Amino acid sequence: MQEMIEQIVMEIVSGVGELDPVRREMFLIWLESHTSQVRCAGDDGYADCLAEKLSTWLGAMSVAGVLWEYRLVIGEIEWWSELEQAAIERIGGVQA
């Protein structure tokens, strides 16, 4: 199970890393609202923080729970990556 969690964490961190800084910050805000156990700022050190917190959070779940959260989190990353810029500006009140 630990190996599966490590692979999932690596995929999530990689996906978050592909988001531009504004989308990354918005995703991290969403993630924190989804689970207060994963709280990381979107600055340069986010990847290590995210990997550590995700490993701990997912490690406390059943296999079914890990897989459910994996699909949800990856789906959210994809949603943020595909969201049109105008919508980002409306949601966050920012221009990226």
Q: Delimit the domains of the chain by residue range.
A: 2-92
Both structure tokens of 16: 């978050």
Q: Taking residues 54-72, what's their average pLDDT?
A: 97
Q: Taking residues 28-55, what's their average pLDDT?
A: 91
Instruction: pLDDT band for 93, please (50, 70, 90 cuts).
Output: low
Instruction: pLDDT band for 94, please (50, 70, 90 cuts).
Output: low
Both structure tokens of 73: 């989190």
pLDDT at 28 (0 to 100):
94
Higher pLDDT, 21 or 94: 21
CA distances from 90 to 41, 49, 86, 87, 94 (A): 22, 28, 6, 5, 8
